[in-house]
């Protein structure tokens, strides 16, 4: 939804939950209005110190924001019901709630689901959208605009993102790893960009993928290095599209035991 509203692929998207770990800022400028979106992780029950820091990203974004956009997945609308209920109950910011993926819902299912969800979660309004098809995104932008303060633009009109290219490079590598690994392994991964150099004819990017255990290292690398190579190929394609330049990508794998629970590692990796 974030990417669809911005018309750019800034936030990585995968079929696995807990893909987004940090806060990603995206700027949408139109005549007379600038909307600054902060994409955050989803509400979650923390199991690791990393999860606590992810939850804090939500708190920080909400504190900074003029309005909160609560996005529910139409195919699992009651997912984490208590967390969502508690969030809505404690929220003091203007709230715009949307039900996404209506492209996958039959019209009659939507007719019943909308009012039931509103009642259950205490939502005044629930806007059905499809980020995939673009349904109701204009209506959503209009609702959000109503809560924005009057004033000069906060960013130049031609600026879409604020975070450095290195950040997005790490994210695209993590996205490829999420797509190509299964079970717990994607969650044990962290990507660090070691070098990012704009050289001719190709931008040179070297990155380390950290895992938590030696056994995970072998799975990530795969037979004869096949899986790591395949992850690298997918990431390189995305990076070339994003940077609009040919990219030479070099990937390394290292073990950092229990990094998801270690304060010093989380700080080094930029999560705190």
Ligand X SMILES: Nc1nc2c(ncn2[C@@H]2O[C@H](COP(=O)(O)OP(=O)(O)OP(=O)(O)O)[C@@H](O)[C@H]2O)c(=O)[nH]1
Nearest 5 degrees, angle CA 22-CA 68-CA 134? 85
Q: How far is the CB of 25 from Mg ion (least distance, A)?
A: 13
Closer residue to Mg ion in complex, CB, 12/117: 12
Closer residue to ligand X in complex, CB, 103/157: 103
Other beta carbons within 10 Å of 256: 18
- DSSP-derived 3-state class of residue 171: helix
Bridge partners, residue 193, by sequence: 207
Only one of the segments 81-89, 112-120, 124-132, 186-194 lies at the binding site for ligand X (rule: CB under 6 A); that segment is 124-132
From residue 158 to residue 197, the character string flagging contacts with Mg ion as x (rule: CB under 5 A) and all else as - is ----------------------------------------
DSSP conformational letter for 184: T
Q: Tokens representing 207? A: 């990155």
From residue 12 to residue 51, the character string flagging contacts with Mg ion as x (rule: CB under 5 A) and all else as - is -------xx-------------------------------
Q: How many residues bind Mg ion (CB under 5 A)?
A: 2
Which of the choices Mg ion, ligand X, none does residue 59 contact, using the CB cut-off of 5 to 8 A by kind? none
Which of 147, 91, 149 shows the shortest CA–CA distance to 121?
A: 91
Q: How far is the CB of 42 from Mg ion (least distance, A)?
A: 7
Q: How far is the CB of 17 from Mg ion (least distance, A)?
A: 9
**Which residues, at least 6 apart from 24, have a Cβ–Cβ distance to it below 8 Å?**
2, 10, 11, 38, 39, 161, 163, 171
Interacting residues with Mg ion (CB under 5 A): 19-20
């Amino acid at each position: 939804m974030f990417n669809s509203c911005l018309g750019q692929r800034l936030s990585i998207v995968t079929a696995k939950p807990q893909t987004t770990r940090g806060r990603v800022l995206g700027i949408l400028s139109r005549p007379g209005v600038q909307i600054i979106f902060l994409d955050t992780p989803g509400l979650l029950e923390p199991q690791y110190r990393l999860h606590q820091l992810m939850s804090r990203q939500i708190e920080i974004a909400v504190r900074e924001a003029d309005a909160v956009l609560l996005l529910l997945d139409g195919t699992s609308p009651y997912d984490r019901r208590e967390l969502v209920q508690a969030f809505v109950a404690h929220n003091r910011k203007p709230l715009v709630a949307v039900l996404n993926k209506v492209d996958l819902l039959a019209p009659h299912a939507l007719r019943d689901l909308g009012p039931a969800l509103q009642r259950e979660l205490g939502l005044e309004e629930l806007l059905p959208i499809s980020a995939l098809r673009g349904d109701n995104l204009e209506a959503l932008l209009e609702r959000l605009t109503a809560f924005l303060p009057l004033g000069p633009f906060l960013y130049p009109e031609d600026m879409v993102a604020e975070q450095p290219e290195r950040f997005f490079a790490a994210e695209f590598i993590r996205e490829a790893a999420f797509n190509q690994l299964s079970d717990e392994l994607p969650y044990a991964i962290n990507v660090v960009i070691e070098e990012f150099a704009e050289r001719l004819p190709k931008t040179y990017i070297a990155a380390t993928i950290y895992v938590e255990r030696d056994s995970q290292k072998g799975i990530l690398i795969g037979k004869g290095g096949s899986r790591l190579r395949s992850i690298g190929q997918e990431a390189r394609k995305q990076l070339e599209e994003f940077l609009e330049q040919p990219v030479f990508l070099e990937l390394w794998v290292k073990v950092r035991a229990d990094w998801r629970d270690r304060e010093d590692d989380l700080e080094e990796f930029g999560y705190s």
